[in-house]
Amino acid sequence: MESQSRITRLAHRSAQYVSHPWAVLASFAAVTACMAAGLFLAFSDGWHDFISSTTALITFVMVFLIQNAQNRDTQAIQLKLDELIRVTAGARNDMIALERESEDTLDQVKSELSEACGEARPDATAASRSE
């Protein structure tokens, strides 16, 4: 495997750190400290501007960290599933990389799979009526 870029490593490590239970505790401590500072500064306009700017910047960065982590996880899962399809005898290889297809193609495959499942086992409502 090729080595990861610095940005990828930074994003991965950051996502690990901010999802740690200690990070949640640190965020509560930071909120408490900010509220205490607000009380001390009588919730001045400067305090309000600082808090608003800081929370906006942290939120902005966290959105990208979360999106990066989710994209990497999703891609890894898709690759693993593609490998399982590839090595499974009788599997439909046209399912590999299905996530790249159009919505119409996905709807068509979904319909085909629903029909195949209906043919493979009797309808549950019909079975319950006969009892």
Q: Where are the domains of the chain?
A: 6-95, 101-131
The token pair at 119 is: 């043919």
Q: What is the pLDDT of residue 33?
A: 93
Question: What residues contact 100, with CB distance under 8 A and at least 6 apart?
Answer: none
Residue 121 is classified by DSSP as S
45 CB-contact burial (10 Å; exposed 0-12 / middle 13-18 / buried 19+): exposed
Task: Round to whole Å and give the CA distance between 62 and 116.
Answer: 43
Q: In one letter, which amino acid is 21?
A: P
Beta strands in the chain (DSSP E): none
Q: How confident is the model at residue 32 (pLDDT cuts 50, 70, 90)?
A: very high
Report the pLDDT value the prediction gives residue 130, as an integer from 0 to 100: 52
Q: What is the pLDDT of residues 53-88, one digit of tens each?
A: 999 999 999 898 888 888 888 989 999 988 998 899
Residue 120's pLDDT is 61
Q: Report the distance separating Cα 10 and Cα 4, nearest Å.
A: 10
One DSSP character per residue, 21-73 reads HHHHHHHHHHHHHHHHHHHHTTT-HHHHHHHHHHHHHHHHHHHHHHHHHHHHH
Q: Which helix (H) or strand (E) holds 102?
A: none
Q: Residue length, the chain?
A: 131
